[in-house]
Structure 1
Amino acid sequence: MPADFFAALRSAGGSATEIDIMVTPNAKTASVCTVDQWRKRLIIKVQDLPLEGRANNAVESLLKDFFGVPVEIIRGHADRHKTVLVHQDIESVAALLVENERLNRCSGKS
């Protein structure tokens, strides 16, 4: 059963979407995973440590590559729980996340 991605997504008006995420820094691989059903957050794994903004930069870079559009952290810069703004409509964001889930993988870089 696909994850309920809409639990972590909100339309930010027009062609932008806010996504609530939970970041795991210092992971073995960088990846975009599924939604944590209790926290209602998309799980993001990055290899960088949370020092001097490195993990935040890695999150923005990973999500920019995944969605193919600019992404910025708008809340939670010093927290594992963050909100990012993706410059893409909510339907397109959800479709990419569902496809990633359908392929039964966390999409990312080794």
Structure 2
Amino acid sequence: MDVNDVSRRVSEGLEVELLVSPRSSRSGIEGIDPWRKRLIIRVKAPPLDGRANKEVEGVLEECTGFKSRVTAGQTSRQKTVTVYGDADTACQKIQALL
């Protein structure tokens, strides 16, 4: 299973389906959940006042080099994030971290 299984190309760039684990000991991309077909991201921030969402966006921005925003699931562990930029480049950079 790779990034293409948990993402889709849109006009703005790449939409990635995520499963977020807040209050983790470290932040970063953990892998792919094959049952939910979501990319697992761990963040140190608690899920309060949007802090975990901001950290999720920061982790993806650091990994891909492109701006990203949570577009669905703001109050859920299951989120959709749009990475704005070249979808193929973003996909390759995320895949390299798995």
How many equivalent pairs are there? 98
Please, what TM-score do these two structures have when normalized by structure 1?
A: 0.83
SS at 2:97 equivalent: helix
* Structure 2: unaligned runs, 5 residues or longer: none
Q: Which runs of 4+ in 1 moved over 3 A?
A: none
Structure 2 residue 32 is matched with structure 1 residue 35? yes
Task: Give runs of aligned pairs for residues 1-110 of structure 1, distance below 5 A.
Answer: 3-13=1-11, 16-101=13-98
* Structure 1: unaligned runs, 5 residues or longer: 102-110
**Which structure has the highest strand share of the two?**
2
Q: Shift of the alpha carbon at 1:66? A: 1.1
Q: Identity across aligned pairs (percent)? A: 32
- Tell me the alpha carbon deviations over residues 31-56 of structure 1, each in whole angstroms, 9 at most, x when there is no partner: 11221111110000000000111111
